[in-house]
Structure 1
């Protein structure tokens, strides 16, 4: 997915504002297994996924708990770092070789002060991230692992082909054996 599509999916900007924003975005490549963001560190940039898949996880008692997957067109951001300039909670690991667009948060904040359209784009960006977080919390609290698996099948079917079953089981909060049962039940 190209950067124009990603920007427009968040909020459509006038062409001159979009071009100004794009001046501050660079393309980067990182290999599978690369840790894009580390917990307990301030992350001074935002990424947009051009190609590839990432997972967000937290470590607890020596176990990695996956709580989010991102793929083409999605944003990778530590909201705590973005909003408060404080260390984030999450680790972000690349599950495939990834092509990403990178935007320095300080540059974005300067653009917010210079261009009302980019400021509105930033507001829409934050609102979308808030809704995504809210949906994740509600899903974890009120849906069964079977329902969450069905949601993955419906909303992100390519993940089921591209992501290790161990990560999917972790995301669902179950063991791989339980995931196998769910998959057998659905077939």
Structure 2
């Protein structure tokens, strides 16, 4: 009733026998020397188009000997189309394997990608902000503020016994920074 799997597929894994597939038929078509890392192109895009255009353009895909570049606005697409030969020269200088794989450049406009990227960067920037930094920002007082003057007077009295002027000023500064960081001015 039940057959062994090896009986059902007698030629599996045997090269050159029968009508079964051989392992050699599953080898990748490209040799290692011909492979191209598209992610490296994205990482090095700024070297090709410059820092200003790299902020508003990004390579999207390489298909049918056409490199598709995503732009933020149609004006950038038009500017890059005028510089197509220069862009290709720089591209081939950095990635010589692309000479046979890229014959022309195509431009697509999509602001969604760049808006999402900008939102992600802003989100990361907000996550990296420390609450301590916010607290310090809130407790910064102007030197003419009465609370600041009171703290400074207290610090000058506290460190009046130090004869060296430079050290005394440093100690006063540290005292003020410490008190302002605490945010407790009731003393």
Q: TM-score range by the shorter chain?
A: under 0.3
State which structure, 1 or 2, has the greater radius of gyration over its C-alpha atoms. 2
Query: Normalising to structure 2: TM-score of the pair?
Result: 0.23
Which has a greater percent of helix? 2
Query: Normalising to structure 1: TM-score of the pair?
Result: 0.23
Bigger relative contact order, structure 1 or 2, given CA contacts below 8 A and separation 6+? 1
Which has a greater percent of strand? 1
